């Protein structure tokens, strides 16, 4: 029961049906505290803890990674949102 808990989440956040406000978030947490997060609107990682700031600095040096995560709004979020939303709309 005593131990550490580290995890990463990907989220797509939007409120309009045309997905114009869609944001991709990738968060890294340790013991339920978000250390560092990528936000596609900001376009880079932001650290929220002392360790997170260090990780953000290192992640932000990798331009290929940043480009891949910026593209996730289209490749991951919009693609899946269109599929899921059409399933909901078809049932209404």
Q: What is the total count of domains within the chain? A: 1
Is 1 inside a domain boundary? no
Identify the band that residue 3 occupies on the pLDDT scale cut at 50, 70 and 90: confident
pLDDT at 54 over 60: yes
**49 within some domain:** yes
In a domain? residue 70: yes
Which candidate, 8, 1, 4, 12, places its Cα nearest to that of 84?
12
CA distance 77 to 39: 13
68 found inside a domain: yes
CA dist 20 and 53 (Å) reads: 30
Is the residue at 38 inside a domain?
yes
Q: Strand, helix or coil at 71?
A: helix
* Predicted confidence band of residue 29 (pLDDT cuts 50, 70, 90): very high
Q: In terms of Cα–Cα distance, which of 75, 59, 62 is closest to 27? A: 59
CB 61 within 8 A of CB 45: no
Instruction: Please report, for the domain that includes residue 46, its CATH number.
Output: 3.10.320.10
**pLDDT exceeds cutoff 60 at 56:** yes
Domain encompassing residue 22: 6-90
Predicted confidence at residue 30, as pLDDT, reads: 93
Do the domain assignments include residue 75? Answer: yes
């Amino acid at each position: 029961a005593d131990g550490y808990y580290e995890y990463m989440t990907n989220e797509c956040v939007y409120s309009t049906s045309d997905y114009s406000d869609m944001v991709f978030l990738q968060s890294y947490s340790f013991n339920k505290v978000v250390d560092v997060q990528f936000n596609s609107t900001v376009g880079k990682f932001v650290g929220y803890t002392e360790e997170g700031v260090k990780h953000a600095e290192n992640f932000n040096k990798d331009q290929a990674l940043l480009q891949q995560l910026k593209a996730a709004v289209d490749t991951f979020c919009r693609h899946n949102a269109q599929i899921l939303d059409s399933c909901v709309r078809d049932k209404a």
